[in-house]
Structure 1
């Protein structure tokens, strides 16, 4: 089966992408992307697929996947209550390589990243320690998340019982197809016009798809809806304006493309856990 290309879109306030999925099960989605990925699966039982490696897992499972290494997990449905928790950290390779080349403190990560080309499975003890850090990242600030990421990478680099997954002879050559070009074209258009009104049918035309097909395509390729991406970009711009200007909140709402102030406040609270006025007041207090 040919792995699907996934487009990774970090939030505007982060250089890398962190996500927590809570689901009844993990469905098989054979895919690849040019980013490094740390995946931690909790409360789950099933199979892990990395390159040509297929192994059963039960309980906490954490792996580091190198760029463009096809991978997926597939679990059984949870019947005992609760949900499967999947923590994902996706790190752009150029960003990580640049940091390692400029900061000698990160030199110890180089061997880890090289080994991740075959996928690395970590010991139960390191996985449990990393799980506690991942849990804290769910409500952390961007800076706190970055510090937590370094802590997790440090744990992984020091794991003497870690092992590689794909065989030494396994190779996969990532090839771009028309779908990669379409998602790049659509995402580029969104980034250039997110403060303007955007309609799904217009983006579907840009991708040469029906509107229904476009919604499914965008969600499958980016793991979020186009509305979620637009709102993230707009709120990111709003935060910048709240920090760097004294413009009224109603004016910032208009500049960022929201159709009314109540919608802006609702979206801002959903993504930032506070209102725009609370965000600005907190910043002013820290400057005193």
Structure 2
């Protein structure tokens, strides 16, 4: 998938940008940037695509997105409706320590941080106690300026580099810089899938959206997402199903139909293949984790 090169606007007075964003929905075009980004979800929920990983996000989640890592965060459908009061809010800490000089990260004191930044090229989700502390630190960083902000960021990165509560999302590192290209076709396809995954989408239909033959589309999609169209569609659908099972309280049959499956046996097979659980096991496991956490 050819992502859009996203240029982060900077001023001469800052090497670290902190954005506090409040929009109806998150920026949902696949893109990448040379800087590392720590994204703290303050409000909102939806689906993320990070590298080759697909999953759900919600308020309180924190992601570390490495340099040149393709990603997008798409809010749930309800956020796009007219006259809704739903908001999508986040704090983004955007930085490039390489801008501090070629030898900066070569210092022995920064070895662990350098390893963390390399690891972040797979996309990281911060969990447990580390997430709680980083959530608080991100809010504090909003009020810091200049050298204080830089020192504070380095301290947080140092803590994260020693944490065992970071979960890699993508199966591979995206450590090469993609060539800038026109991504209108790619994002048109993604938006079509996200808007219609609950319907019966055919391969010919989505290939037509991309204005490609079926064979050309299959090659194009697999080359750039490292997934077949069927794999991508099933992961989007099962992610939606997981969310409904644990948040909405619908029956398995209702969830299957709403996620685009009209054959319950096929839905159950796909669900277990992707999550490792049957729907009933998934509900039970999540309920037990919720009770332990509370």
TM-score range, shorter chain: 0.5 to 0.7
Matched, 1:11 2:16: no
CA distance in 1 between counterparts of 2:10 and 2:161 reads 24
2:168 corresponds to which of 144, 164, 168: 164
CA distance in 2 between counterparts of 1:178 and 1:25 reads 23
Question: 1:130 aligns to what SS in structure 2?
Answer: helix
Q: Is the contact between residue 120 and residue 162 of structure 1 (CA under 8 Å) also seen in structure 2?
A: yes
1:80 CA drift (Å): 9.8
Q: Is the contact between residue 100 and residue 106 of structure 1 (CA under 8 Å) also seen in structure 2?
A: yes
For residue 117 of structure 1, what is the aligned residue in structure 2? 121
For residue 54 of structure 2, what is the aligned residue in structure 1? 54
**RMSD of aligned C-alpha atoms?**
2.8
For residue 135 of structure 1, what is the aligned residue in structure 2? 139
Matched, 1:152 2:156: yes
1:148 CA drift (Å): 2.4
Q: Is the contact between residue 10 and residue 17 of structure 2 (CA under 8 Å) also seen in structure 1?
A: yes
1:66 CA drift (Å): 1.6
Q: Is the contact between residue 123 and residue 159 of structure 1 (CA under 8 Å) also seen in structure 2?
A: no
1:99 corresponds to which of 91, 96, 104: 104
1:75 CA drift (Å): 2.0
Structure 1 residues 87 and 106 mapped into 2: Cα distance closer, same or farther (>3 Å)? Answer: same
For residue 108 of structure 1, what is the aligned residue in structure 2? 112
1:162 CA drift (Å): 1.1
Q: Is the contact between residue 67 and residue 93 of structure 1 (CA under 8 Å) also seen in structure 2?
A: no
Query: Within 5 A, what are the aligned runs for 1:197-208?
Result: none
Structure 1: any 5+ residue segments left out of the alignment? 180-288
CA distance in 1 between counterparts of 2:147 and 2:5 reads 29
CA distance in 2 between counterparts of 1:138 and 1:173 reads 30
Report 1 or 2 for greater relative contact order, CA contacts < 8 Å, sequence distance ≥ 6: 2
Question: 1:74 aligns to what SS in structure 2?
Answer: strand
1:31 CA drift (Å): 0.3
Query: Within 5 A, what are the aligned runs for 1:235-254?
Result: none
Would you identify which runs of 4 or more consecutive aligned residues in structure 1 move more than 6 Å? Answer: 78-82, 169-172
